[in-house]
C-alpha cells in the first residue's frame, strides 16, 4: 500500500442487521451510537493533536485525512441485493483512495467488505478475525448462505484468500463437529482466549500478523464485539462468557493497525447495551486504529 493511501481513512456506516435472525437484532442502530461516542473522544483534539495518556505521547493527527462518508443506503427488502448495495458503498471509499473503517451492522457486512477489498487490490489477502464464534456456517434454512454466521466461509471461496492466512482470535465455547474438520482441512489458525491470556497481547498480535501476512499483500481485520467477555460488551448480538477484556482488545488493535487495509467493527447492539458501554468500546477501537497509524507516520 502506498504512503499516500496509508494516511487516508474513510468511515462508513453499514446499518444492516437482517441476518441477525439467530441472535439479537438491533445492530442497525450501532453506527449512529458509535459516532456519538466517537465525538466525545474527538473533543479532546486541539490543533490536530491529542494526548495519548496510556502511551505517554502526543499524537499528531493532522498527518491523517479522516472523512465520514455517512451510512450506506440499503433497500433492505432483498438480502442479496442489500449485500450488493453495501459493497457498492464500500467501493466508493476505495475509489476515492481511502482505507475503509466500517461500522456494522451484523457480521454479514464483512462479506461485502472482503469482496470490495478483493476487487480493488491485487494479490493474496489475509484475514484477522476477532470473534467469539467461528462464522464458518455453510448455509442454513433460516439465514441462507450470506449470513452473519457465514462470512468467513464465503471469504475462503475467493481465489486470493487461503485458509492458512486466516486467523481467528478469541473464539470459544462449543460448535458443530463439521467445523473442526473444515478448520483442519482449510488450515485455519485458532487462538482461543486462554492462549492470548497466557502468551500476552503483544505476542498474540505478532502471531496473528505473521499468519495473515504470510505471502499476502493485504490484511482484512474484522472485529465482532462479542470477542469481549459479556461483562465488557453487554450490547452485542450474541454474548459468550469467557472472552477478552476491553484493554486486551484495544491493545491488540493498536498493534495490528498499521498493517491493516480494512477494519470493520460489527455486532454492537444499542438495544441491549447499558449506557452505551459497548458503543464506547467500538469508538475507542476506531480512534486507537487512527492514532496507531498516525504514530507511525
Domain at 15, CATH number: 3.40.800.10
Q: Is 63 helix (H, G, I), strand (E, B) or coil?
A: helix
Over 80: is that where the pLDDT of 22 sits?
no
Can you name the residues that pair with 127 across neighbouring β-strands? 166, 220
Sign of CA dihedral 170, 196, 201, 203: negative
Q: What pTM did the predictor assign?
A: 0.96
pLDDT in tens, 124-166: 999 999 999 999 999 877 778 888 899 999 999 999 999 999 9
- Kindly state the helix (H) or strand (E) to which residue 90 belongs, with its residue range: helix 79-95
Cα separation of 17 and 58, whole Å? 38
Query: How many Å apart are CA 63 and CA 295, to the nearest integer?
Result: 9
Q: Are 213 and 126 in contact (CB under 8 A)?
A: yes
Separation in Å, CA 201 to CA 60, 194, 205: 25, 11, 6
Question: Is residue 2 scored above 50 in pLDDT?
Answer: no
pLDDT in tens, 158-201: 999 999 999 999 999 999 999 999 999 999 999 999 999 999 99
Residue 84 is part of which domain span?
3-296
Domain count within the chain: 1
As a whole number, the mean pLDDT across the chain is: 95
Q: Which residue's C-alpha cell is 438491533?
A: 26
Amino acid at each position: 500500500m502506498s504512503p499516500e493511501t496509508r494516511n487516508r481513512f474513510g468511515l462508513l456506516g453499514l446499518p444492516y442487521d437482517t441476518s441477525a435472525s439467530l441472535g439479537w437484532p438491533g445492530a442497525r442502530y450501532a453506527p449512529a451510537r458509535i459516532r456519538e461516542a466517537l465525538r466525545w473522544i474527538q473533543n479532546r483534539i486541539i490543533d490536530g493533536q491529542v494526548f495519548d495518556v496510556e502511551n505517554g505521547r502526543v499524537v499528531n493527527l493532522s498527518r491523517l485525512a479522516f472523512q465520514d462518508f455517512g451510512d450506506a443506503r440499503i433497500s433492505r427488502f432483498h438480502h442479496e441485493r442489500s449485500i450488493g448495495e453495501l459493497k457498492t458503498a464500500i467501493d466508493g471509499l476505495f475509489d476515492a483512495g481511502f482505507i475503509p473503517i466500517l461500522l456494522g451492522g451484523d457480521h454479514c457486512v464483512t462479506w461485502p467488505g472482503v469482496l470490495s477489498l478483493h476487487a480493488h487490490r491485487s494479490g493474496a489477502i489475509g484475514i484477522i478475525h476477532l470473534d467469539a464464534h467461528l462464522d464458518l456456517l455453510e448455509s442454513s434454512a433460516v439465514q441462507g448462505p450470506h449470513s452473519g454466521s457465514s462470512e468467513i466461509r464465503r471469504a475462503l471461496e475467493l481465489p486470493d484468500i487461503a485458509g492458512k492466512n486466516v486467523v481467528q482470535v478469541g473464539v470459544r465455547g462449543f460448535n458443530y463437529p463439521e467445523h473442526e474438520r473444515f478448520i483442519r482441512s482449510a488450515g485455519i489458525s485458532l487462538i482461543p482466549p486462554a492462549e492470548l491470556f497466557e502468551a500476552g497481547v503483544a505476542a498474540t498480535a505478532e502471531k496473528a500478523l505473521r499468519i495473515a501476512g504470510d505471502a499476502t499483500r493485504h490484511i482484512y481485520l474484522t472485529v465482532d464485539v462479542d470477542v469481549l467477555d459479556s461483562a465488557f460488551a453487554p450490547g452485542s448480538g450474541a454474548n459468550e462468557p469467557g472472552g477478552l477484556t476491553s484493554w486486551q482488545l484495544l491493545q491488540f488493535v493498536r498493534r495490528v493497525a498499521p498493517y491493516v487495509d480494512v477494519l470493520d467493527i460489527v455486532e454492537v447492539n444499542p438495544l441491549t447495551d447499558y449506557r452505551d458501554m459497548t458503543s464506547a468500546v467500538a469508538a475507542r477501537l476506531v480512534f486507537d486504529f487512527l492514532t496507531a497509524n498516525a504514530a507511525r507516520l
